[in-house]
């Protein structure tokens, strides 16, 4: 099983979208372990959206869909729903 996830950095108002087979370890890596890459610059991150699929192929396809402008708008709406941001 794979997880497509969206992280949000409230401090920098950034969204990161990815997929993994182990969300706990990947989240820990984004927030603590990694020493280089995009997510290092915008810590701390919060998990704001998760979606489960059965295969890596499905995860890659869905990740690409969520990375579109429509998908990112959907993620922003999810962030609004949980109260991390408000749109005026």
Query: In this structure, is residue 33 part of a structural domain?
Result: yes
Give the pLDDT band of residue 3 (cuts 50, 70, 90).
very high
Residue 25: which of 42, 5, 11, 41 has the closest Cα? Answer: 5
Query: In this structure, is residue 56 part of a structural domain?
Result: yes
For 13: left if phi > 0, alpha if psi spans -120 to 50, otherwise beta; the answer is left
Count of domains in the chain?
Answer: 1
Q: State pLDDT tens for residues 38-74.
A: 999 999 999 999 999 999 999 999 999 999 999 999 9
Give the pLDDT band of residue 83 (cuts 50, 70, 90).
confident
Range of the domain at 11: 2-81
Quote the pTM value.
0.91
- Cβ neighbourhood burial of 63 (10 Å; 0-12, 13-18, 19+): buried
Query: In this structure, is residue 88 part of a structural domain?
Result: no
Query: In this structure, is residue 87 part of a structural domain?
Result: no
Query: In this structure, is residue 86 part of a structural domain?
Result: no
- Provide the CATH number for the domain around residue 37: 3.40.1440
31 Cα distance to chain centroid: 12
């Amino acid at each position: 099983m794979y997880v497509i996830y969206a992280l949000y950095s409230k401090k920098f108002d950034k969204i990161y979208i990815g997929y993994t087979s182990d969300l706990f370890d990947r989240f820990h890596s984004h927030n603590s372990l990694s020493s280089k890459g995009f997510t290092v610059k915008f810590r701390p991150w919060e998990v704001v959206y998760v979606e489960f699929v059965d295969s890596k192929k499905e995860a890659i396809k869905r990740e690409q869909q969520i990375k579109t402008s429509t998908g990112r708008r959907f993620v922003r709406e999810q962030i609004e729903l949980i109260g991390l941001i408000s749109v005026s």
